[in-house]
Homo-oligomer: A and B are copies of this chain.
Amino acid sequence: MTRVDAIDKVTGRAQFTADLVPNPHLVAKVVRSTIASGRVVSIDTSKAERLPGVVGVWTCFDTDLPSYQIYTAGHPWVVDPAHRGDIEDRKILDARVRQYGDNIAAVVAEDSVTADRAVRLIEVEYEEYPIIFDYEDAVNPPAGAPPVHEECPGNVHAEWDTRTDLEGTGYGSIEEIHADPRWHHGSYTMATPRQQQAHIETCLSYCYMEGKRIVCVTSTQIPHIIRHSIGLALEIPWGDVRVIKPCVGGGFGNKQDVLYEPLNAWLCKKVGGRCVLLELTREEVFSCTRSRQPKRFVAEASWDDDMNLVARSCEGYSNSGGYASHGQAIVANGQGSFRYMYSGQEKACYTKALTYYSNQSTAGAMRAYGVPESTWAAECMMSDIAYDMGWDGAEFRLNNAIKLGYSDPFWPAPLVCVSNGLPECVERGKELIGWDEKRRLYADETGPVRHGVGMALLCYKCSVAGLELETASARMLLAEDGSVMLELGATEIGQGCDTVMCQMCADAVGVPFEAVHILSTQDTDVSPYGAGAYASRQTYVTGIAIKKVAAQLREKILAYAAGLIPDGQNLDLVDGQIVGGPDRDHLEPLMGLGELSCIAYYSRTDSQQISAEGTAQTDLNSFCLGACFVEVEVDVPLCKVEVKNVVQVHDSGRIINPATASGQVHGGIAQSVGFGLFEELIEDPATGRTLNDNFLDYKIPTMLDLPDLTAEFVETWDPTGPFGNKSLGEPPAIPAAPAIRDAILDATGVKLYEAPMTPQRLFEGFKEAGLV
């Protein structure tokens, strides 16, 4: 199906937040710290306040500043404080500076130029502290460096272990296995970068008041969560907050965080409810929103001669920067995937997930939420083992991959592999890339330009059921012409979910696809509840709500039809027609749904606007699987890698819309190529300042950097999915980077452990290997 928003988006008609800002409006700018750690001693705002056009300046010393610290991770509220996993460490403005560019004051002015000028007129005096930059600093801080957060004296805000129970297996502990001479062993240290989400639309919101209520129109993935966060941050009833999400130009997890909406709302109250726009520059997006948490991994593996893993260990250290944001959830999620992916043969698996504060910029959620990082670690290991043992990487991986029936011992709800198209994915990928021929063909290259093929697998959960609330609400309203207006809490952020939601609705109600109209704008005043776009959950979870509410709507329609067609038998709704007949196998059209609906609206005896609404909750989950194959050309002297071909094959259950599913895969591959080859936000260890906070210095792959990408699907029918479907939002972003790494190894014999594999790192690797 063509995307329902295709025409509007290609013609420019679609309305994004910036298109909707009313005129006149005020402009807010954040006054940011120019140190990475310390305390604001004083702020002189007098010059700024005297500037004509400045409406006001508010600082971290404002006496009205709410003291409530919120969590900013885009997770649904948890009523029981004992079960709240996210750390409430964020004030609207704070005198304690924890990262370069921290929010210490804000200016509101009549226009953007004045606001910028006012920011520059503000004079701040700091007490500066030494910077905590990395894990070593965090656990052993430099002299005079206080903890990043007083509440967390050791700077490590979470550390979780999982250890497969070895009792009765006869293999001994993980440590004993890793020391056991019966097995081969390897030790590995790996690192992954601070990647930026790099969505096209920057982060922006505008707020105004309606009566005593605050309206926040914002480019977000999580409107309902923004609502409660503004309520908490401003200490006002949540019902006094209305959040509206227009079209969103990408989020990739950055907008699964509460960014500047509470500050914007507070400033709006400060100016008496006038409309205030708070729009970040690209530089602010890069350095003062969120990014993928930079991580280090320390790992070991043991395996036998027969292509079987025996045990793996992996410790993941994640740098959350100055604030927790999504914190530990990310690396824990990644480490879970490390465990599941190659759970096929191994006897034991140990993972550690540790997240620490630093004075780097705050990291948070990014597409695939820790899994690209942990997969990088897992696949570096698989790559090395296969290469060293002379095994076919595909055969080795498939032998050790997750198997049908796998049940995770650590997930708090059933998490079982109930559908598995992975063998077919690998088979198809090998075929498309020409795996066997190319491996033979490129085996003996010795020149300056060498070629290789590589691969990696992926494994990703379909929801967060069990760990967090998984609920979704839907409302359907029948229009006079028999079309169905669909309202959801599930948010379209560019990924195409509106289209598949319409497809599912059409299918479940029994109307043509064209007869479903979806409201793409969420408005917390009226939209059914939805936690938002994250965790690749929307089709999987909201699909359940659509099925449930569609069944209610059908029931009401057929009940009304029964009143109009008293002698109707076996009444049903098929493709927008009420059908019936004495024989279920030969039903005849009796009445168009539009005719029925029009009668229902305007009946003088039984007037009804037929609608249905409801909430569906799930504790189901499943595993998405897939395989990526790449072919590279490596120019050794130039330290240049050209990706010649990428083939990625997914088992995401039944594919609802192949065209948009392919689009998701193409975009995910591109992000993973960036992760593997170029993308890294660099912070200066001396100042904590982001050095490449713009698209000139921070490069993402463009069309010119990518070959033709091939996305294919092995369609399984997952019994847990509402339409046999599994998830597809994030998984595409996982495997290309380690597959490229595997291909470089295949081409050159050089093992790289740090992503991105920049020319510098390639040079170091090639030099160490004696190639240059």
Binding site for B on A (CB under 8 A): 4-5, 7-8, 11, 13, 15, 19-20, 22-23, 76-79, 208-213, 228, 231, 237-240, 272-274, 469, 471, 473, 475, 477, 479-483, 485, 487, 515, 517, 519, 525-526, 528-529, 594, 598-599, 601-604, 606-609, 611, 613, 615, 617
Contacts and interface: CB of A to CB of B under 8 A. Distances in A.
A76 B517 CA distance: 23
A292 to B, nearest CB: 28
Contacts of A603: 79, 469, 617
B515 A5 contact: no
A398 B746 CA distance: 105
B526 A238 contact: no
Contact of A7 (B8, B212, B477, B606): B212
A469 B602 contact: yes
A426 to B, nearest CB: 37
A602 B599 CA distance: 39
Contact of A606 (B22, B239, B617): B617
A602 B480 contact: no
A602 B78 contact: yes
Candidate in A274, A471, A482 with the most chain B CB atoms within 10 angstroms: A471
Given A13-B273, A213-B517, 20 more contacts: A4-B211, A8-B210, A13-B208, A76-B601, A77-B598, A79-B603, A228-B480, A237-B483, A238-B479, A238-B481, A239-B480, A239-B515, A239-B517, A240-B481, A469-B602, A477-B526, A519-B525, A529-B601, A529-B609, A607-B617
Contacts of A599: 79
Nearest to A465: B604
A228 to B, nearest CB: 6
A208 B599 CA distance: 29
13 contacts: A7-B211, A7-B212, A8-B209, A20-B22, A76-B602, A78-B602, A237-B483, A239-B480, A239-B485, A239-B515, A485-B526, A529-B601, A607-B615
Closest 6 CB pairs of A and B: A239-B483, A239-B479, A471-B607, A237-B481, A529-B609, A239-B481
Contacts of A615: 607-609
A435 B517 CA distance: 62
Nearest to A76: B602
A186 B294 CA distance: 97
Copies in the complex: 2
A480 B227 CA distance: 10
A96 to B, nearest CB: 30
A80 to B, nearest CB: 9
Contacts of A485: 239, 525-526
Contacts of A79: 598-599, 602-603
Nearest to A482: B239
A481 B608 contact: no
Contacts of A473: 609
Given A77-B480, A239-B515, A487-B526, A22 B15 contact: yes
Given A485-B525, A487-B526, A613-B611, A238 B13 contact: no
Most chain B CB neighbours (cut-off 10 Å) among A19, A607, A611: A607
Identify which of A237, A240, A598, A602 gathers the most chain B CB atoms within 10 Å of its CB.
A602
Contacts of A20: 22
A421 to B, nearest CB: 31
A19 B20 CA distance: 11
Nearest to A12: B274
Contacts of A483: 237, 239-240
A239 B609 CA distance: 13
A602 B517 contact: no
A208 B7 CA distance: 13
A240 B481 CA distance: 9
A617 B481 CA distance: 21
A518 to B, nearest CB: 10
A271 to B, nearest CB: 12
A477 B608 CA distance: 19
Contacts of A210: 8, 13
Contacts of A519: 525-526
A5 B212 CA distance: 10
A721 to B, nearest CB: 19
A739 to B, nearest CB: 38
Contacts of A237: 481, 483, 594
Contacts of A7: 211-212
A261 to B, nearest CB: 17
A15, A471, A601: residue with the most chain B Cβ atoms closer than 10 Å: A601
Given A212-B7, A228-B480, A525-B517, A77 B602 contact: yes
Nearest to A608: B615
Contacts of A602: 76-79, 469
Contacts of A617: 603, 606-607
Contacts of A238: 479-481
Contacts of A19: 22
A227 to B, nearest CB: 8
A517 B524 CA distance: 12
A455 to B, nearest CB: 39
Contacts of A613: 611, 613
